[in-house]
Structure 1
Amino acid sequence: MTVDNIYDVVIVGSGAAGLTAAITAKKNGLSVVVLEKAPVFGGTTAFSGGVAWIPGNPHFQDRPDAEGGTRVDRAAVHDYMRHEAGNKYDAAFVDAYLDYGPKMLRFMERETEVEFTPSLYPDYHPEAPGGAQIGRSVTAAAYDGRRLGKEFKRLRQPLKTITFMGMMFNSSNNDLKHFFNFTRSPVSAAYVAKRLAVHIAHLARYGRGVQLTSGNALAARLAKSALDLGIEIVTEAPVAELLHQDGRVGGVVASIDGQRREIRAARGVVLAAGGFARDLARIKALYPHVREGGEHFTPVPEGNTGDGIALGERAGGHLSQGLPNSAAWMPVSKVPFPGGAIAFPHLVDRYKPGFIMVNPAGRRFVNESHSYHDVGAAMIETCRGLGRTEAWLIADHRTIRKYGIGFVKPYPMPLGPHIRNGYLRRGKTIQDLARQIGVDPETLAKEVETYNDSARRGEDRQFGRGSSAFNRYLGDANHKPNPNVAPVENGPFYALHIVMGDLGTFPGLVTDTQARVLDGDGTPIPGLYAAGNDAASIMGGAYPGAGITIGPAMTFGYVAGLSLAGRIADHRAGQAAE
């Protein structure tokens, strides 16, 4: 691959933020190169659900506007963000997000291969002031990876633990429900049989699944769009330094083909390297459970070691401070694989009826059907002072055979291998299970019976599972009267060890609404931009809804591209240009 010595823009990182910035800059007449440390492109985006939270997006046609978008209720979004972000709420950033999020989505869908589909996701706290029951989240449309041609081999593969034989699933409930129901529904059985047959044929020919969904589809769509524009995506090209020229950031020093290369950037550099979830020193300082000696096991790519943030700090930028949460918490289990365990993010099972989660004392501590971030925060709190942050996800035999649990698939897939390798624990009775997991038997038995007493009526008196639209959305709509609640009473019983992980970090370089990195005095550093997890989250350490990472990443990547091209005015002056 030929890499020039000078471009208008250098992008550091090839996830949603970096590729959106690259495409926007290129579409506005600038020359662009993308430098990626890993041997594959796609970043954390390729592991994700591919959902973007964009209030006023053009796919929610409740109140369409003249541009094909939605006349977003700005006051409601401000109310919701004020409620979620608390004292980190920033009205100017919310306004910028509302201005540019829908424009970004229209631009990308009109001008590139990127395509989203409507989502039925409610906000994670839909009953909060300004919360929405539907319409703010959109999901990346499925994609045929073969459209990437020879570049398909450089696309980051999806997280192994959330595939079945390498087959990807849509983030929506609709895709997975067929796999949950295939032994009970002829329609679902036919759907699953067709998916499996096609997938096996693709494995034989291409060595991997080609029917891409979720974040893998989004990463492929973005990469195809960039490559079609002639944008070079250079992998195995870690950036070690920023270059300065005439008082501004004017390029980078990267290692390409083992050689030190200086690459000049006439307009500027965009840092979009994915945050610091793999930076052990930084997470020890910022993650409360790690400070206490607890385990953290993240599913994000190994290359997310905070390189972009460190580059920005050395150029005079600074990390945002004082967030109530330093990451998007994700309860995970550790799946044994040859060569070491891999994280399984618990995105689906907890919401289904018949599961409960208990802390190390054997007591329930949270509504298990809350968002992963809220459950993770509750895990940290209930384990505070214990020196470990862990929980147990528990189900009975009927539940586990119907829905599976973690990496364990539903009937007819066998349970034995997971029990033998220690991933799954089993007991004939609740008391027996308690002894297997090191919990007081009588405490756990009493806790389960307390839960069961109301669960038999479809209620959860302790934590109110099924009381919100979000709880119910990810439950089992066919289970009555409550899609999230069923008793745990048909032995044998099973438990899965849960530890803390994350989906990415929230603190990042402080920027303005044009994605320019600010110095300690609040002045933009000329030529330096940041987006995605390298920039401070506009959510203020909160997790309001599905896609609050990808939505801002793409929006402010788009803003950075416009700003570099001189196509954006200062929001503080109340002006904007697409």
Structure 2
Amino acid sequence: MADYKTQIVVIAGGPSGLSAAVQAAEDGAEVILLEKSAAIGGAANMGMGPLAIGSHIQKRQMIDLTVEKAYRMIMEYTHYNIDGRLVKRYFEQSAETIEWLEDMGVEFEGAYKYFTKSEATWHIVKTDKGIGPRAASFMNKALYARAQELGVTFLLETPAKKILKDEDGKVCGVVAVNKEGKEIQIECEAAIICTGGAGCNPEFIREQTGYKFGEDMFNFAIPGNVGDGIRMAWEAGADKTPVRIEQAASIEGLDDLPQSIANILLQPNLLVNLDGKRVMDEEQMQNTTFLSNAASHQKHRVLFSIIDSSIAKYYMRNGVDEISMVRFDPDVSDFMEGAKKAAESGKTGLYVADSLEELAEMTGINAENLEKTVDEYNDYCDGTDEEFFKTKKYLRPLTKAPYYAAAIRPGGYGTVGGIRIDENCQCCDSEFTPIPGLFAAGADACNIYDDSYMFLLPGNSMGFAVNTGRIAGMEAVNYIEDED
């Protein structure tokens, strides 16, 4: 006999799970949400807001971005390796989702770019502390309050373990373990998996992607995001899709230092690999997905951003060339103070040397090639970049010690993908046939980037989570109604 009986079980309470629960409850369903931790929100509590296209906020800011343009951008970016029907449904719904959230009391600062070359699709949630990390926790609180108002039952510290199906292959229940450690069974007609990927499971990451967490991959590792939802879906018959790391480059070992250190060393500076050779037009470094991809294809998966003291002083005097919504302050006047602090603390991500030869010895970069690369690069600064065609304004010669370098490695926000879904967020088997009553949303089913996160349309990760959560919620209700 089941311990609980409901219509829909939502597995996990991040933005996709909360959105699924609210949408399903608004559409009249009885919902139980299972969450393994003691609080809701998941990884999104660290985020800032979702993507939307064509929202009233963008229109008010005179941002002219249509669903058609955004759709073409992402399809061409991924070379049509993704589900265009799912992308179009997500994008078309995204503007209305902003109003849906506002109706719950969520406020937005506006629509923003992440970096210069991106579009202003990032709808950052307003807080009582201004723009910054964790803003989306305010959105999660509003979703949680709305779910409670609608009568959603929350079982916290209760991880789901298995999807149950009847003799006809339809979802009929979920097995979980409650906070007392007792196995419980919930009878239901549909289940929605929203467990947020496997960013905190090094073994899973290595098996699925080949990266070694903490060695050549430095993605966020949100406790609890271990891939259990993906595993449950696979065990229930869902087809496997490639699991990727949602990549964005990381500077190793600088987290506790002033923001100016990372801000300066992520400017379009000279960038070399361990062979002492350039690998890209450094102007593209502002897209940290591109930068992470470039690092992934180097020896030991590492690159080094290098400046000299004259470049550091230029930035300190004039501000940096490029800012982002994470490193939004162009004032880096405390760089020298931060570098001194790094030296005193023994931070390994920042290298300071009195010569290029010494810098090469400290970092392991090929000294002969580094000297040659710097000489050639300095020549380009007097004319044009004949190697990678870097824009003239970013070309600054390295001539004056001390020299500063930072190790840049692949990083990211966790895993995306693993579960095949259709445009209705139904989990599908290897024949692309929907599994009756099984749905998935958010990172577990995010297959819309192919091998590279679509950073040109920022807010995509949370936007996909919230919108696919809504789609899964409404389609689970439609499924139940059709079955009755």
TM-score range, shorter chain: 0.7 to 0.9
Aligned length: 460
1:121 correspondence with 2:131: no
C-alpha distance after superposition, 1:51-72 (max 9, x if no partner)? 43333233221799xxxxx996
RMSD over aligned Cα, in angstroms?
3.8
> 1:390 — aligned with what?
302
C-alpha distance after superposition, 1:34-61 (max 9, x if no partner)? 322234432221223x243333233221
C-alpha distance after superposition, 1:453-479 (max 9, x if no partner)? 44467x75543456xxxxxxxxxxxxx
TM-score (norm 1): 0.69
* Contact 1:14–1:34, Cα closer than 8 Å, also in 2: yes
1:141 correspondence with 2:56: no
Give the partner amino acid of 1:237.
Answer: T
* Contact 2:114–2:122, Cα closer than 8 Å, also in 1: no
1:331 correspondence with 2:315: no
TM-score (norm 2): 0.82
> 2:288 — aligned with what?
372
SS of the equivalent of 2:190 reads strand
* Contact 1:12–1:18, Cα closer than 8 Å, also in 2: yes
1:418 correspondence with 2:342: yes
The 1:169–1:409 alpha-carbon spacing in structure 2 relative to 1, beyond 3 Å, is: farther
* Contact 1:21–1:558, Cα closer than 8 Å, also in 2: yes
Deviation at 1:398, TM superposition (A): 5.6
The 1:215–1:122 alpha-carbon spacing in structure 2 relative to 1, beyond 3 Å, is: closer
> 1:260 — aligned with what?
182
Any residues of structure 2 matched to 1:304-315 within 5 Å, and which?
304-315=225-236
> 2:192 — aligned with what?
270
C-alpha distance after superposition, 1:506-547 (max 9, x if no partner)? 332111111111122222112211011111422333323212
1:359 correspondence with 2:270: no
From 214, 217, 223, the counterpart of 1:302: 223
C-alpha distance in structure 2 between counterparts of 1:460 and 1:139, whole Å: 37
> 1:148 — aligned with what?
none
C-alpha distance in structure 2 between counterparts of 1:103 and 1:33, whole Å: 25
The 1:225–1:541 alpha-carbon spacing in structure 2 relative to 1, beyond 3 Å, is: farther
C-alpha distance in structure 1 between counterparts of 2:381 and 2:148, whole Å: 53
C-alpha distance in structure 2 between counterparts of 1:123 and 1:416, whole Å: 29
From 50, 69, 75, the counterpart of 1:76: 69
| Identity value in percent | 23
Give the partner amino acid of 2:278.
Answer: R
Deviation at 1:241, TM superposition (A): 1.4
Give the partner amino acid of 1:551.
Answer: G
C-alpha distance in structure 1 between counterparts of 2:402 and 2:38, whole Å: 45
From 457, 465, 474, the counterpart of 1:562: 474
Deviation at 1:304, TM superposition (A): 1.6
The 1:98–1:299 alpha-carbon spacing in structure 2 relative to 1, beyond 3 Å, is: closer
* Contact 1:236–1:256, Cα closer than 8 Å, also in 2: yes
> 1:27 — aligned with what?
26
The 1:410–1:244 alpha-carbon spacing in structure 2 relative to 1, beyond 3 Å, is: farther
The 1:400–1:465 alpha-carbon spacing in structure 2 relative to 1, beyond 3 Å, is: same
Any residues of structure 2 matched to 1:60-99 within 5 Å, and which?
60-61=58-59, 73-99=66-92
Q: Which deviates more from structure 2 when the two are superposed, residues 303-312 or residues 92-101?
A: 92-101
Give the partner amino acid of 1:253.
Answer: V
The 1:347–1:304 alpha-carbon spacing in structure 2 relative to 1, beyond 3 Å, is: farther
From 512, 523, 533, the counterpart of 2:422: 512
> 2:401 — aligned with what?
491
> 1:203 — aligned with what?
none
SS of the equivalent of 1:143 reads coil
Deviation at 1:89, TM superposition (A): 3.5
The 1:376–1:568 alpha-carbon spacing in structure 2 relative to 1, beyond 3 Å, is: farther
Any residues of structure 2 matched to 1:473-552 within 5 Å, and which?
482=393, 486-544=396-454, 545=456, 546-552=458-464
The 1:273–1:104 alpha-carbon spacing in structure 2 relative to 1, beyond 3 Å, is: same
C-alpha distance in structure 2 between counterparts of 1:57 and 1:255, whole Å: 41
Deviation at 1:229, TM superposition (A): 4.4
1:280 correspondence with 2:280: no
1:431 correspondence with 2:372: no
C-alpha distance in structure 2 between counterparts of 1:410 and 1:265, whole Å: 59
> 1:470 — aligned with what?
none
Give the partner amino acid of 1:61.
Answer: K
C-alpha distance after superposition, 1:357-407 (max 9, x if no partner)? 321112221234241111111112233xxxx21222323346557379999
> 2:371 — aligned with what?
445
Deviation at 1:87, TM superposition (A): 4.0
From 215, 236, 254, the counterpart of 2:157: 236
* Contact 2:446–2:464, Cα closer than 8 Å, also in 1: no
Give the partner amino acid of 2:124.
Answer: A
Deviation at 1:317, TM superposition (A): 0.5
> 1:575 — aligned with what?
none
The 1:217–1:410 alpha-carbon spacing in structure 2 relative to 1, beyond 3 Å, is: farther
* Contact 1:327–1:502, Cα closer than 8 Å, also in 2: yes
The 1:265–1:487 alpha-carbon spacing in structure 2 relative to 1, beyond 3 Å, is: farther
C-alpha distance in structure 1 between counterparts of 2:338 and 2:229, whole Å: 44
The 1:488–1:253 alpha-carbon spacing in structure 2 relative to 1, beyond 3 Å, is: farther
* Contact 2:192–2:438, Cα closer than 8 Å, also in 1: yes
Give the partner amino acid of 1:320.
Answer: T
> 1:184 — aligned with what?
none
> 1:8 — aligned with what?
7
* Contact 1:9–1:269, Cα closer than 8 Å, also in 2: yes
> 2:93 — aligned with what?
100
Uncovered stretches (5+) of structure 1, i.e. residues with no partner: 65-69, 127-132, 145-167, 172-211, 467-480, 571-578
> 1:198 — aligned with what?
none
The 1:114–1:486 alpha-carbon spacing in structure 2 relative to 1, beyond 3 Å, is: farther
1:53 correspondence with 2:51: yes
Give the partner amino acid of 1:428.
Answer: D
Query: 4+ residue runs of structure 1 moved beyond 6 angstroms?
Result: 403-409, 567-570
C-alpha distance in structure 1 between counterparts of 2:297 and 2:480, whole Å: 43
SS of the equivalent of 1:541 reads coil
* Contact 2:302–2:407, Cα closer than 8 Å, also in 1: yes
* Contact 1:336–1:421, Cα closer than 8 Å, also in 2: no
* Contact 1:330–1:502, Cα closer than 8 Å, also in 2: yes
The 1:490–1:536 alpha-carbon spacing in structure 2 relative to 1, beyond 3 Å, is: same
C-alpha distance in structure 2 between counterparts of 1:460 and 1:40, whole Å: 52
Give the partner amino acid of 1:95.
Answer: K
Deviation at 1:270, TM superposition (A): 1.1
Deviation at 1:284, TM superposition (A): 2.0
SS of the equivalent of 1:319 reads coil
> 1:155 — aligned with what?
none
